[in-house]
Amino acid sequence: MIVGIVGGGASGMAAALAAAENQKVQVILMERQTRVGRKLLSTGNGRCNLSNIHALERGYYGTEPEFCLPALRAFDPEATLKWFQSLGLFTVVEESGRVYPYSDQANSVVDMLRLALNKPNIQVKTGFDAQKIRKDGDGFSVSDGEETVRCNKLIVACGGLAGTKLGGSMAGYKLLSKLGHNSTRLRPALVQIKSDWTGLTALKGVRTNCHVKIFCDGRLFNQSRGELQFTQYGLSGPVIFEISRDVCYGPGKWSCELDFLPEISKDALKQELKQRQQRRMPVEELLTGILHNRLGRVLTKAAGVKGKQWTGELNDQELEAVCIGVKGFEIALSEPMGMDHAQVTAGGVLTEQFDPQTMESRLMPGLYACGEVLDIDGDCGGYNLQWAWSSGRCAGLHAGKGTV
């Protein structure tokens, strides 16, 4: 029996290895790029946050978020880590539950998967850009325009549209649509949020711990604490990714309030600043040693202390304004960045058209889908790759059953 897999990313490779566990199965993995797992190399800032030990408890979205549970239960984070260990990959679990390769290098993950694919019953065809899939008798034929691959079962693992520069595309949705499947609206998730605030230019690249509150028309929409990163266009970093879902989509005025010292009360901060006034410190250095230098200067300036040279010259009102800025700086938000900046696609091929126990199409027996192409997306922190491994393995094991 031949199992064809279109897409050599995270879910496609997991599917290939699972299907090939049946020695009677021949797997053909088709990848349009010159190497498999290219996107994986860029994940987790080059460290590859490959799972999260809390992935079964929460963290998934879609029209039917519960669709992901059977696959995640069957191949949960613990089983996934054991599987990686069996492939020779050492991993480390951080306090937050995020899992990384022990080497801290994403290429270790790709290398171990690539080596594992090196099996007599797996053929990896790189440079194969599947353009057409046809139902062919009991099986399928997949063509890239020059060559046609025939298989008995077919798994579509083309990923989503997010990360376009790393291979994200509409291909999977289009191929599945030609086979009768429908998709929801697609939108970027785990993505920066844009702001027109002029202070951003001076803060580009600054990372800081922050408690972020997002408001829509003055009403609290979401909040979280963690690392925030300023970019040229707006706000980024894990804390933004965590709470950016659905921000700036509905009508209304969107804004955020940033507390740059969540562990310290405003009164305690004011006390500290008052003490600093005893020293001969230039005003722009008021927050030096507390916050990132550039952030400190921007916040001091934004508090309107212009014209004052020494911290001792600040009056109580001005000190209060600086403290308010540090503990609740307000910025207007405009819109999320596009798909090329997003880590994952929200939306995808309708999960109701697939069986969550097997990932097989309910419309076309023998056809399977897994990973990001389906209408499932996860939180920041290893949830999306865990979904890719679990759904890929589920599709591979079930497609690889039997001896046609």
Ligand X SMILES: Cc1cc2nc3c(=O)[nH]c(=O)nc-3n(C[C@H](O)[C@H](O)[C@H](O)COP(=O)(O)OP(=O)(O)OC[C@H]3O[C@@H](n4cnc5c(N)ncnc54)[C@H](O)[C@@H]3O)c2cc1C
Residues that bind ligand X (CB under 6 A): 6-12, 30-33, 38-39, 42-44, 48-49, 128-130, 157-159, 162-163, 166-167, 169, 171-172, 343-344, 371-373, 382-385, 388
Closest distance between ligand X and the C-beta of residue 329, in Å? 28
Q: If you search the block for the tokens 């069996």, which residue do you land on?
A: 86
Nearest CB to ligand X, comparing residues 18 and 344: 344
Closest distance between ligand X and the C-beta of residue 393, in Å? 12
Closest distance between ligand X and the C-beta of residue 39, in Å? 4
Closest distance between ligand X and the C-beta of residue 402, in Å? 24
Could you tell me whether strands 60-61 and 377-378 are parallel, antiparallel, or unpaired per DSSP bridges?
Answer: antiparallel
Q: Minimal CB distance to ligand X: which residue?
A: 9
Nearest CB to ligand X, comparing residues 27 and 30: 30
- One DSSP character per residue, 382-396 reads THHHHHHHHHHHHHH
Closest distance between ligand X and the C-beta of residue 404, in Å? 23
Between CA 26 and CA 20 the distance in angstroms is 7
Closest distance between ligand X and the C-beta of residue 120, in Å? 23
Nearest CB to ligand X, comparing residues 142 and 214: 142
Q: How far is CA 33 from CA 39, 129, 371, in A?
A: 10, 8, 18
Q: How many CB atoms lie within 10 A of CB 255?
A: 17
Between CA 165 and CA 338 the distance in angstroms is 12
Helix 106-116 vs helix 77-87: crossing angle, to nearest 10: 70
Q: If you search the block for the tokens 């399977």, which residue do you land on?
A: 368
Closest distance between ligand X and the C-beta of residue 267, in Å? 39
Nearest CB to ligand X, comparing residues 48 and 331: 48
Nearest CB to ligand X, comparing residues 101 and 139: 101
Closest by CA position to 240, among listed 348, 345, 379:
379
Between CA 20 and CA 27 the distance in angstroms is 6
Q: What are the residues whose beta carbons fall under 8 Å from the beta carbon of 365, sequence distance 6 or more?
A: none
Nearest CB to ligand X, comparing residues 35 and 274: 35
- Asked whether 331 and 119 are in contact (CB, 8 A), the reply is no
Nearest CB to ligand X, comparing residues 170 and 281: 170
